[in-house]
Amino acid sequence: MSDDFIFTSESVTTGHPDKLCDQVSDAIVDHFLGQDPNAGIIAECAMASGVLFISAHYASKGGLAIPDVARAVIRSVGYPREVFDADACTIMTSFMDHTERDYQPLDLDAMDDEALGRVTAKDQVTVFGYACDQTDSLMPLPITIAHALVRRLDDPDLEAELPYLLPDAKVQVGVEYRAGQPLRIHSVALETSQREDASAGLDRLQSDLIHGVITPVLADQPVAPDGDTHYFINPEGPVIGGGPAVHSGLTGRKTGIDTYGEYARHSGAALSGKDPMRIDRVGAYAARYAAKNAVAAGLAGECEVQLSYSIGSAGPVSLRVRTFGTGRIDDAEIAQRLQQHFDFRIGAIVRNLRLRHLPAEHPEGFYRKLAVYGHMGRVDLDMPWERTDRAAELG
């Protein structure tokens, strides 16, 4: 792309139906792995007004309480009963128990190198990891600001200040780049929903959101809005009701939000609802881990790591690095260093990042927390793939 451009990224709140489905799917993953770290689970959800459909394929020695898990997630989001009732909504399920056929209690921690090489990917995928020096979290700035805005919209303090709002909202942030670097905030678009009995008109809504959400969040960003910044707040008028009563939801439909806000490539595969032995999920984490450490090591100002896996292979059949002209050394040399210091075999990724054990260590939920505000760049959580503990080795 040109070095001078405007780029936009979006994020959505916890009550957006797509993200609600992601949260339910990942809460189910936590539910199984918290009981049995060897569990295999794939869960997907779809929702509409008053209805949640859950499809789950699993192999586990743990107990099954999926509808209860789903209702707890819906309840925590905070919809009033007339919009989406967590206790009275219809939950339809399709469960397939593959325990007898597919359950594999692999002790990855006890495996030697040869044994890890026999743990192979069961899917084929090309995943991408990305990092850049635009923010302290080494993430692109547009998606970082978009996540910050929806966090503010989800803040319980804001709910107390603006009780007429419902938990379904989306934002889009445009950042103007000059010579490839963020220069200014070009635009902010925000659409939120409100209760049917709300007395807030459009003028009050816009004023409340500018002063209560946009202004305080933008004040903390590395670039600022100016007199030419555009603000679009519910430009088509108030949205009454919102949530599943207005639009449906589906697991995995917001992969750009989950990764880099479309600023960088991603596989397009859903991240939520999959246990750690799914390479399309954990491969994306491993690629981000490598790219972030490369940038943290000062090898480049921008780095994309591509990993391609085939069914039956333990590690990637292809590893490619691109630094888009920002590399201090050749891209091929960075790729060679990554291969030397990172083990991209699926068994090693899961073992080294402890991805099967984290739900048991976080009974309040581990994977579910990733289902909103992104799987990458999470400075609020100690995610193993967000650490820069390999940077010194790479440099």
Please tell me the predicted confidence (pLDDT) of residue 140.
98
- Residues 161, 164: Cα–Cα separation, whole Å: 9
DSSP 229: -
The answer, yes or no, to whether residue 1 has pLDDT greater than 60, is: no
Tell me: the pLDDT tens digits for 2-57?
689 999 999 999 999 999 999 999 999 999 999 999 999 999 999 999 999 999 99
Tell me: the pLDDT tens digits for 84-112?
999 999 999 999 999 999 898 899 999 99
Q: Radius of gyration of the chain from Cα atoms?
A: 22
Distances (CA, A) of 253 to 43, 44, 52, 282: 14, 11, 16, 18
* β-bridge mates for residue 91, sequence order: 52
* β-bridge mates for residue 10, sequence order: 172
The sign of the CA dihedral 11, 13, 18, 23 is positive
Specify the range with the lowest mean pLDDT, choosing from 124-128, 244-248, 336-340: 244-248
Please tell me the predicted confidence (pLDDT) of residue 2.
66
Please tell me the predicted confidence (pLDDT) of residue 199.
66
Give the global pTM.
0.96
**Structural domains in the chain plus CATH codes:** 5-11+141-242 (3.30.300.10), 110-134+275-394 (3.30.300.10)
Residue type, 75: R
Tell me: the pLDDT tens digits for 263-295?
999 999 999 999 999 999 999 999 999 999 999
- Residues 292, 302: Cα–Cα separation, whole Å: 9
In whole angstroms, what separates CA 154 from the centre of its chain? 16
The answer, yes or no, to whether residue 128 has pLDDT greater than 70, is: yes
Please tell me the predicted confidence (pLDDT) of residue 187.
98
**92, two tokens:** 């339809």
**394, two tokens:** 């790479």
What would the DSSP string read from start to end of 271-303?
-TTB-TT-HHHHHHHHHHHHHHHHHHTTSBSEE
Q: How many CA atoms lie within 13 A of 212 on its CB side?
A: 22
What would the DSSP string read from start to end of 213-261?
IIHHHHTTSSS---TT-EEEESTT--EES-GGGTS-EETT--HHHHTTT
